[in-house]
Amino acid sequence: MKNRSFDKYWYYRDAVQSPDADVIFLRNLYRRLRGRNPKVLREDFCGTFANLCEWVKLGSSYRGVGVDLDHQPLNYGRKNYLSKLKADEQKRIKLIEGDVRGANSQLADIVVAMNFSYFSLHEREDLKTYIKSAHRHLKRNGLFVADCFGGSECMDQITDRTRKRGYWYHWEQANFFPVGNRAKFHIHFKRDGEKIRKRVFTYDWRMWSIPELRDLMHEAGFRKTLVYWQDDDDVFRPSEKGEPCASWLAYVVGLK
Ligand SMILES: C[S@@+](CC[C@H](N)C(=O)[O-])C[C@H]1O[C@@H](n2cnc3c(N)ncnc32)[C@H](O)[C@@H]1O
């Protein structure tokens, strides 16, 4: 078979992200909690900022700020997503190459950290500094939204294999160290008829728990926190309990 080029961000987006559904979730969450439409979304750890590119399509009042340390995914997003937007939509996105803890931007209605990116901050003080920055960059009544995952399976060494169109997506948990709740994860892709591409993305994470996150949000100044737990029908609903399962997903929301 002819060796086609491999675009790792295309596969990442196809396997891991759902930007069109995620921005609707964020907009509806803000509407439900604040009774009006949000305008400005700040996406921290934005990578290729696929979410922002969907956000600005929601209407002419929707603006976005993306922050990421790494110019490689930012440049990928500029070339592959931003360039495909209408001129007016492009103008409503601002990108900052920098650390989420220090990058100053306009104030947002929603600050979001998606795909567990803040798990790369291993120390409590570092995570607190970040959450304080999220708080500082929100308007009055703003929301900070961070996803979180866990469950008994996340304290194990396992590989989840998912069939996608034309390829397999592998999510490998390489280890788990209970003393520090640290774990290493790898993403591998195996295109049909080709050898597996190993460790296309690797993450060294601390598995933060929901109560740790809520405590830090309160310490950082958020007045209230809510948890939206993913139910069996894939809908996220407010919950103060959750349920025991091998693998769970939730959004933790800080209300300024
Ligand atoms: C797991 S990717 C997530 C990309 C995207 N948010 C998503 O939903 O898929 C993590 C991103 O966080 C960025 N990152 C890690 N630490 C950061 C920091 N302290 N400040 C800004 N960006 C950071 C990395 O460069 C990487 O692009």
- Helix extents (H) in the chain: 8-16, 19-34, 50-55, 71-80, 87-91, 124-136, 210-219
The answer to whether residue 1 sits within a structural domain is no
Q: Rg of the chain over CA atoms, in angstroms?
A: 18
Rounded to whole angstroms, how far apart are CA atoms 32 and 30? 5
The CATH number of residue 113's host domain is: 3.40.50.150
146 & 157 share domain: no
192 & 217 share domain: no
The answer to whether residue 2 sits within a structural domain is no
Query: Distance of CA 231 to CAs 54, 76, 121, 149, 239, Å?
Result: 25, 34, 28, 13, 10
The answer to whether residue 15 sits within a structural domain is yes
34 & 146 share domain: yes
Rounded to whole angstroms, how far apart are CA atoms 125 and 163? 39
* Ligand 1: nearest atom to the Cα of 45: 12
Q: How many distinct structural domains can be found in the chain?
A: 2
- By DSSP bridging, strand 167-177 and strand 182-191 are antiparallel
The answer to whether residue 161 sits within a structural domain is yes
Distance 140 CA to ligand 1 centre (A): 26
Give 187-202 pLDDT, tens digit per residue. Answer: 999 999 999 999 999 9
Give the model's pLDDT for residue 44: 98
**71-91 core/surface letters (b: 16 or more CB in 10 A; e: else):** eebbebbbebbbeebeeebee
Give the model's pLDDT for residue 4: 79
The answer to whether residue 3 sits within a structural domain is no
The answer to whether residue 70 sits within a structural domain is yes
Give 121-156 pLDDT, tens digit per residue. Answer: 999 999 999 999 999 999 999 999 999 999 999 998
199 & 215 share domain: no
Give 50-106 pLDDT, tens digit per residue. Answer: 999 999 999 999 999 999 999 999 999 999 999 999 999 999 999 999 999 989 999
Residues in CB range of 177: below 8 A, 6 or more apart:
183
249 & 146 share domain: yes
pTM for the model stands at 0.96
The answer to whether residue 169 sits within a structural domain is yes
125 & 233 share domain: yes
Output the six-digit token pair for 206. Answer: 């601390």
95 & 55 share domain: yes
* Ligand 1: nearest atom to the Cα of 73: 27
The CATH number of residue 158's host domain is: 2.20.25
176 & 79 share domain: no
Mutate to test the pocket of ligand 1, among 117, 126, 137 (most ligand atoms within 8 A of CB): 117
Rounded to whole angstroms, how far apart are CA atoms 234 and 237? 9
97 & 161 share domain: no
**What is the domain range of residue 214?**
8-150+208-255
The whole-chain average pLDDT of the chain stands at 96
Whether residue 2 is predicted with pLDDT greater than 80 in this model: the reply is no
196 & 213 share domain: no
Residue range 35-40: mean pLDDT, rounded: 97
Residue range 110-121: mean pLDDT, rounded: 98
Distance 2 CA to ligand 1 centre (A): 33
Residue 95: phi and psi, rounded to 5, are -120, 140
Residue range 222-232: mean pLDDT, rounded: 97
**Pocket around ligand 1 at a 6 A CB cut-off:** 17, 45-47, 67-70, 73, 99-100, 114-115, 117, 120
* Ligand 1: nearest atom to the Cα of 201: 1
15 & 40 share domain: yes
* Ligand 1: nearest atom to the Cα of 67: 21
The answer to whether residue 81 sits within a structural domain is yes
13 & 63 share domain: yes
